[in-house]
Structure 1
Amino acid sequence: MGQERGEILKYLRMVAMRLLLLSCFMAGALDFSLAQVSIPSKYDGFVYRGGSLWEGSVIVEAFFDPMCPDSRDSWPPLKQVLQFFHPRVSLIVHPFALPYHSNSYASCRALHIANKLNASSTYPLLELFFLYQKSYYNAPTYNTSMAFIINQFSKIAEEAVGLGSYSAIISGFNDSRTDMSTRISFKYGCSRGVMGTPYFFVNGIPLPDYGFALNYSKWRSIIGPLLMDEQ
């Protein structure tokens, strides 16, 4: 009996040591991976209506892909609830380019370019991408070059940024800084555990129904009680 107990304790010590080594390895790997991501000059994302993200009592973070139909469908009810609770709710959208939407990265990059040229044009451009989205799905653009897509997206962006901004937008696609900003947006989403779009956080807590549009009533049921608790 004593020998069996000794063997069990020995086994448990071995397991504990392996778990400790594994945790140290994972911590080291995490530190290494974090060191590879450049820290942006400002917090990732685009604040709705501009101003400070922290003005609202409730902060909603939305990860959207401009080429994702579920992101498109989720925007109208979210926009409606923002108007209803204004100014007590703040929103920031993080562009998140899903790899299985062929033109997502270019559209997310266009948002960064527009935001740099004219911050007030970012959400109008997002809405334009949602409007024209079906024309840039994978199948319709299967035989289309990326140069053509960038040209088309630059024309769409000009509608939002302002007449005569086309050349500046095209130049933005040749600027390595907009490429880096778009990459950081994607990596930031991954660091938050984002696995699809739309993906929402409310006051830092992820909502469980990612990948699906939430209707207006659902948003009211989530945000309303939070504002009541604050009173």
Structure 2
Amino acid sequence: MTMKGEKSWPLIFIICFFNLYLQRVSAQVPIPAKYDGFVYRTEDSQSSIMIEAFFDPLCPDSRDAWPPLKQALKYYSNRLSLIVHPFALPYHDNSFVACRALHIANNVNNSTTYPLLELFFKHQEKYYNQPTLNMSRASIVDHMIKLMVKVVGNSSLSAIVAGFKNRETDLTTRISFKYGCSRAVTGTPYFFVNGFPLLDSGSPLDYKKWRSIIDPLLGQHSAEPLHFFL
């Protein structure tokens, strides 16, 4: 997503390449114990197509991209796998906290990760820059904890609070951002299909577009060509 009036792409390019430069001149970026992202569905079949989506939970374009992608996942059933990587856009002031909340929910109960993502999409306007301009960081975190409890459950409140105090969840959220940078992600939503980035990334893809991308990979007829970066 690119906000009107902001030159966000050059900024993100600078951040990404600076990150990569630092990786090369300093120490190795910590390698996580498991692959980054939240598994929505993975299929063991070698014929399954892997989609990776980079979403910012406070990005309107990420929000709009999710329903048609879910529709495609339902249509293709076990022929599609999906992993969503949280990617906090730097010009969304509260995105890092929201991405951290997703990691915490995933640690506490991974069945609540996607319901929480959808809840952020539903209420994301409350966390935009302007409405939270006069709120402290602690107040924003407290507000998000109350939102998390709605899907993770009241019994998990202490674990959620502890998660925001745990340095590990902060580092994991940073790793997610660095991982996106390492794959040259410059905005959200950003999509990879079988490891290749889509040319149409950065904007929501409708269901028809997903059909035009996936059908040829499954040997089915499509009237539109594939849209990959080459």
Establish whether TM, by shorter chain, passes 0.5.
yes
Matched, 1:92 2:91: no
- Alpha carbon RMSD of aligned pairs, Å? 1.8
More helix by share: 1
Aligned to 2:38: 46
Aligned to 1:37: 29
For residues 23 and 84 of structure 2, what CA distance do their matches in structure 1 show?
Answer: 27
CA 1:180–1:148: 2 relative to 1, 3 Å: same
How far has the Cα of 1:54 moved from its partner?
Answer: 5.1
Write the mapping of 1:26-175 to structure 2, written as runs, cut at 5 A.
32=24, 35-49=27-41, 52=42, 55=45, 57-175=48-166
Write the mapping of 1:171-182 to structure 2, written as runs, cut at 5 A.
171-182=162-173
CA 1:53–1:195: 2 relative to 1, 3 Å: farther
* TM, length-normalised to structure 1: 0.82
Q: Which structure is larger by alpha-carbon Rg, 1 or 2?
A: 1
How far has the Cα of 1:166 moved from its partner?
Answer: 1.7
Of 177, 200, 213, 2:191 maps to 200
Give the SS at the match of 1:209: coil
| Percent identity of equivalent pairs | 63
Tell which deviates more after alignment, 156-165 or 213-222.
Answer: 156-165
How far has the Cα of 1:117 moved from its partner?
Answer: 0.3
Count of residue correspondences: 200
Aligned to 1:224: 215
For residues 134 and 57 of structure 1, what CA distance do their matches in structure 2 show?
Answer: 36
Give the SS at the match of 2:218: helix
Write the mapping of 1:13-32 to structure 2, written as runs, cut at 5 A.
32=24
For residues 186 and 23 of structure 2, what CA distance do their matches in structure 1 show?
Answer: 22
CA 1:183–1:30: 2 relative to 1, 3 Å: closer
Tell which deviates more after alignment, 168-177 or 33-42.
Answer: 33-42
After superposition, give the CA deviation of every residue in 1:82-131 in whole Å (9 maximum; x if it has no partner). Answer: 01001110000000000000000000000000000001100000000000
* TM, length-normalised to structure 2: 0.83
